A = this chain, B = another copy of it.
């Protein structure tokens, strides 16, 4: 983070026509933007939601309420502008790009073997780094992939300890039997891969999905290119959690856009040390919670940039 830019926005904030601290977390948001962009005058000229989409072999085990064909169908829906994420991005002037990750080649069923080969995981992570191309200055990685809450829950169980039921939720809406299957599948996968789950990259390869690898790449590339990141919900945070397990500082440029009621998301954010901006019971994925939070971030920056100072407005200071 850039101390000089941080000091600059703090100095300006102190002159704005409001009592000190009265904008609360909106002030913190502007400081975060300035520090990570390295700009005394932070910008949101090119905010982007980057949605990574992939399919998961583990859906064969009956862990999702929807068939895997929905991943491609929802991608077509994104392209046609009909999904929730399209509407939210349009509302707040946020760009949207979809990264399709070989949907016709689902990852392996991680309850029977590793989800990915080493080179595939590495290549997808590298591909994810391209999400920041094109002069963007604020990034929210999102995802679409039937079955991916199962993969994310498995990652949390591997990182933070099981059993699966501590981390899982109903995803797109499995019933009690489906949830029991989901837990059993994850628990058996943890037993199968157990000895190999001490390394976050190995957790990604064995239990993860292509969209999770892609989001890891995007978050890393943003870190290296001074682009602040708004984290989405349960699945997107599994990418952040893997990076965090490798190096706590790797996600220091990330803010939690929202907390989801899905599974252990609130506990994950606690472990990541992130306080969410929004708590609206959203559990859709697609980057939708992060995109809503970008609305808040834009409002915060608008205040900082547009407000008059006590001097320019002729407003008296404290008596």
A residues neighboring B (CB under 8 Å): 16-26, 64-67, 69-70, 73-74, 76-77, 80-84, 86-88, 90-92, 171-173, 261, 277-284, 288, 292, 295-296, 298-299, 302-303, 305-308, 312-319
Contact = CB atoms under 8 A, between A and B. Distances in A.
Given A308-B80, A313-B76, A318-B173, A280 B24 contact: yes
B24 A261 contact: yes
A294 to B, nearest CB: 10
Contact of A92 (B88, B283, B299): B299
B80 A18 contact: no
Contact of A302 (B70, B80, B88, B317): B88
B280 A26 contact: yes
B280 A19 contact: no
A110 B307 CA distance: 33
Copies of this chain, whole number: 2
Please list the 4 inter-chain residue pairs (A to B) with the smallest Cβ-Cβ separation, ordered nearest first: A82-B308, A24-B281, A87-B306, A22-B284
A230 to B, nearest CB: 14
A88 B282 contact: no
Contacts of A23: 84, 282, 284, 288
Given A22-B284, A65-B319, A279-B279, A87 B17 contact: no
Contact of A307 (B67, B83, B316): B83
A298 B305 CA distance: 23
Contact of A84 (B18, B82, B83): B18
